[in-house]
Amino acid sequence: MQLPNDVLKTYWGYETFRPNQETIIKKALCQEDVLGVLPTGAGKSLCYQVPALCTTGFTLVISPLIALMQDQVQQLENRNIKAMAFVSDPKLSIDQQLDNCQFGGYKIVYCAPERIAQPGFLKRLLQMPISLIAVDEAHCISEWGHDFRPAFRKIAALRESLPKIPIMALTASATKMVRQDIVDVLKLKIDVPIIASFKRENIAYHVVETEDKMGQLIRHLKHKTQVAIIYCWTRKNTEEVAAQLQSLGYKAAFFHGGLSAAEKQERLQDWQSEKTPIMVATTAFGMGIDKANVDHVIHINLPDSIENYYQQSGRAGRNGNPATALLLIHKSERDQVEKRMTQEQLDPEFVKSAFKSLCNFLQISYGEGFDNSYHFSFQAFCSAYSYSAPKVMALLQWLDQIGVFSLQQKNKPSIRLRITVAPEIFRKTGGRSPKAAELVNYLTRHFEQLYLSEHTLSIESIKARIAFSTSQIHQAFKELQEHNYLIFEFLNNDLQIHWNVPREDQYTLNPILPNLKKHNALKRKKWNAVCDYVFGNSGCKTAYILNYFGEQNTTDCGNCSFCTSKRTTSPDTILPQILNLLEKGAYTTPEISLALAFKETVLLEALHLLAGKQKIKKTHDHKWQLT
């Protein structure tokens, strides 16, 4: 059996574990249950990956996110560690995947909680050499958590069937009530959970009210080479903000679910290599990505819960250097939140009506659907049934959360078109741009029946033949339509729905409808906490977050927007704080500014005062250090 430290060095190249990792790993290797609450960036994955390589058999990891499972499998394979995930695959049935799991010599196997609820699957699984059960994102077990998924409660069946196999439950954000729920549901045999402090001393939490969010963003990103994640609510927001930054000379890109897998991979690599150090993204970006030197995490819009905000902002400063978590707000947003809350409230009649419409839209007959996947155009569905988009999205997310189906972002853009002129006119009409002419040439060469009926063409298939971007394809079609050569519609099947249960309206919905009231109340409670953090007189921002997660006897951090607003900013008064910071190491002027949040003019004057007194000096790489 390999020792944990040897495994760590061989496969990850690290000499030592981070705080709490080794304690959790040792408990698992001693066949003990453990609940670990570690903040974002503390290395939760290693807690179950290392024991997997130290024991016989394999570690079963139960995770709620398909994309994250697939990403983890890829990362492990890159380290020559055999790993697999149970996913829907038209080329490989679940029975074939179970055979591979049983006989393939895998060390780490990922599985969604919904699979555990399937008796046939569970029966096969119990025949295999499982050495450890790891429950990732364990807060999903709790009805009081911010991402409750009832399917997670089915994991208790593993404890009943495999009472001697240790269970490791891991989460980055769990209140005291949620932690107790995890212990009770999983029947964990533990004395106390291992809880790291939620305090991130190197992150300065700032809430800034402004009428000009873009101007404030630019002022904050004055150093164009710094690494940043900028979170926005919508795909459109990400594109607009990225375009404005690019126009000002920033190396920025946008990232959202509408990109193809290849585009996502390319942009992620460019961000990680810092070819484009600023990523403007929707909130799913960053999950499972361990980039240590993120200087800023900036939210353009309000987060939907303190838990999610803490996880997202915690992607900053993982290397321990000073970093900021900036939330930009304006007064009207409180009213927007209330409006959004009202729009997203679900009632039983709407749920029953929209669920039936959804099944009809996807052509799922009564009793069918189980274990099948369907491409789904969100916009087309809302338009077909005249539903409110926010309410439909709230419904889809709730049905995903409670396990009726699994939602996955997909990008299957296509063009539906019909030629409106005779073939000879379409082929020969002049006056078109080179791009439009090239598109006409492509269409006439590759589609014999082009003029006889309506056609739907994949955007990816067009890209494969002609070197156009999606926007160039759209523009070329638009030009042809303006000249009355064709009529087209730009389609985007932007979701995939994997059905986890048969469609049986009464039996599917009746057991879950009573949960609606609790679901709505919990959502309201979490929104209220966000509003209190942002708009209320909540005091120190860091202390508020710590208190939210149950840490007692907290003191003001001195670095957040609340603390710095009270601070006297005479250069003489800040000298001790600069010296205290430099006792930890050498920092550049921007890093000191991030850590202490003083006005630049005051900070520069203070630094020159200290240098004049020969208390500090500059290194060859432009960092300040104690003399």
Report d(CA 174, CA 353) in Å as an integer.
Answer: 35
What are the tens digits of pLDDT across the range 175-188? Answer: 888 899 899 989 99
Per-residue HEC secondary structure of 502-559 comes to CCCHHHHHCCCCCHHHHHHHHHHHHHHHHHHHHHCCCCCHHHHHHHHCCCCCCCCCCC
Asked whether the beta carbons of 324 and 203 are under 8 A apart, the reply is: yes
Please give the domain boundaries of the chain with CATH numbers for all domains.
Answer: 4-195 (3.40.50.300), 203-330+536-544 (3.40.50.300), 336-411+496-526 (1.10.10), 421-484 (no CATH), 567-626 (1.10.10.10)
* Distances, alpha carbon 225 to alpha carbons 240, 314, 387, 590, in Å: 20, 20, 44, 12
* Distances, alpha carbon 51 to alpha carbons 23, 104, 195, 274, in Å: 12, 19, 20, 33
Report d(CA 615, CA 625) in Å as an integer.
Answer: 9
pLDDT at 326: 95
Please report, rounded to a whole number, the percentage of residues in the chain having pLDDT higher than 90: 34
Residue 153 identity (one-letter amino acid): R
Question: Residue 261 pLDDT > 60, yes or no?
Answer: yes
Q: Structure tokens of 237?
A: 């927001």
What DSSP element (H or E) covers 430? Answer: none
In Å, the largest CA–CA distance within the chain is 86
Least-confidence region, from 446-455, 496-505, 547-556, 587-596: 446-455
What's the DSSP call for residue 83?
E
Task: Over range 486-492, report the average pLDDT.
Answer: 75
Report d(CA 321, CA 301) in Å as an integer.
Answer: 25
* Distances, alpha carbon 625 to alpha carbons 217, 231, 582, in Å: 29, 34, 6
Residue 50 identity (one-letter amino acid): V
What are the tens digits of pLDDT across the range 124-161? Answer: 999 999 999 999 988 888 766 666 777 788 888 888 88
| Neighbouring-strand partners of residue 60 | 109, 133
Confidence at 111, pLDDT banded by 50, 70, 90: very high
Note the pTM of the prediction, 2 decimals. 0.71
| Angle of helix 470-482 versus helix 434-446 axis, rounded to 10 | 90
Confidence at 194, pLDDT banded by 50, 70, 90: very high
| Neighbouring-strand partners of residue 618 | 624
What are the tens digits of pLDDT across the range 24-76? Answer: 999 999 999 999 999 877 788 999 999 999 999 999 999 887 777 888 898 89
Least-confidence region, from 164-178, 363-377, 474-488, 564-578: 564-578
Phi, psi of 206 (to 5 degrees): -125, 130
Asked whether the beta carbons of 81 and 107 are under 8 A apart, the reply is: yes
pLDDT at 212: 86
Task: Over range 574-603, report the average pLDDT.
Answer: 81
pLDDT at 491: 65
Please report, rounded to a whole number, the percentage of residues in the chain having pLDDT higher than 70: 95
Report d(CA 75, CA 262) in Å as an integer.
Answer: 17
pLDDT at 109: 96
What are the tens digits of pLDDT across the range 297-341? Answer: 999 999 988 988 998 999 999 888 999 999 999 878 888 777 877
What are the tens digits of pLDDT across the range 353-369? Answer: 999 999 999 999 998 98
Strand, helix or coil for residue 483: coil
Task: Over range 255-276, report the average pLDDT.
Answer: 86
Which position has the higher pLDDT, 598 or 295? 295
What are the tens digits of pLDDT across the range 387-410? Answer: 988 899 889 988 887 778 888 766
Q: How far apart are the first and last CA of the chain?
A: 49
pLDDT at 144: 66
Report d(CA 452, CA 423) in Å as an integer.
Answer: 10
Which position has the higher pLDDT, 512 or 23? 23
Q: How many CB atoms lie within 10 A of CB 612?
A: 9
CA neighbor of 75 nearest in space, from 83, 67, 85: 83
* Distances, alpha carbon 438 to alpha carbons 404, 406, 427, in Å: 46, 40, 11
